[in-house]
Amino acid sequence: MNDVQFSPSLMTMNLDKFKEEIRFLNDHVDSYHIDIMDGHYVPNISLSPWFIEEVRKISDVSMSAHLMVTQPSFWVQQLIDIKCEWICIHAEVLDGLAFRLIDQIHEAGLKAGIVLNPETPVETIYPYIPLLDKVTIMTVDPGFAGQKFIDGTLEKIVQLRELRETNDYKYLIEMDGSSNRKSFAKIDEAGPDIYIVGRSGLFGLTENIETSWQTMMTDYKEMTGKKYYKE
């Protein structure tokens, strides 16, 4: 796989500095992470396909929608309609829908991802794992920013890497939750391809996005001994 990627979670950005932060990040990140919550799967209500369209007015960076919803079919079609590059659905709501929705996403020329909650085993997605473009491991419980990192979830990242190598699968491995200076070293050891960064890792570090980004890059380098390729 290529160098590690960083994907800012836009739910945690400073919305009164929306244009300033997006225009800076456009030159530094690989994708944007868009949390869509329906108030049912998780108690919060968050971003929407409309928000993706607003970001697109000032960015051509790839968008990855994380659906924390109870009726994924409704939202998948909306995201297909606006050509969201990545559509990622929780495995926990996919009973009887997985193959249909993955095919629907692929037939639209888009990429399909699956998200696993901390207590959901990788084995849950074995029937359709060869079809996936991305697997996201939640390292916190879904729905709220700023939660404590769950160390045991990292074992699933290692398991996914071994499965990919053994079976020549093509999916990317992404981690979501409390990615910051305190956790960079142990995340790096597990070896995901994509780090989702939010308030604790990026947006909450300083009042200025450029300074916050530089701080995050320093934290990543000091804790892992590695340099991000788009620093």
What's the distance, CA 206 to chain centroid? 22
176 given a catalytic annotation = yes
Cα–Cα distances in Å, from 188 out to 135, 183, 193, 195?
Answer: 17, 9, 9, 9
Q: Is 27 a catalytic residue?
A: no
Exposure string of 6-32, with b = 16+ CB inside 10 Å and e = fewer, is: bbbbbbbbeeeeeeebbebbeebbbbb
CB 105 within 8 A of CB 128: no
Helix (H, G, I), strand (E, B) or coil at 56: helix
24 among annotated binding-site residues: no
3-class secondary structure per residue, 66-98 = EEECCCHHHHHHHHHHCCCCEEEEEHHHCCCCH
User: H-type helices in 97-225, by residue range?
Assistant: 98-107, 154-167, 184-190, 209-224
Residue 28 assigned as binding residue: no
The reply, when asked if residue 183 is annotated as ligand binding, is: no
Q: Is 177 annotated as a binding residue?
A: yes
For 65, phi then psi, to 5°, come to -90, 125
* 204 assigned to a ligand binding site: no
Question: Considering 30, 38, 176, 193, which one is annotated as catalytic?
Answer: 176
Catalytic residue among 30, 35, 38, 133: 35
Is 144 a known ligand-binding residue?
yes
Please name the amino acid found at residue 211.
T
Joined tokens for residue 59: 């960015």
Check whether 96 is labelled as a binding-site residue. no
In angstroms, the CA 67 to CA 169 distance is 23
Per the annotation, where are the binding residues?
A: 33, 35, 66, 143-146, 176-178
Instruction: List residues with catalytic annotation.
Output: 35, 176
Residues annotated within a binding site for substrate: 66, 143-146, 176-178
> Which residues fall in the annotated binding site for a divalent metal cation?
33, 35, 66, 176
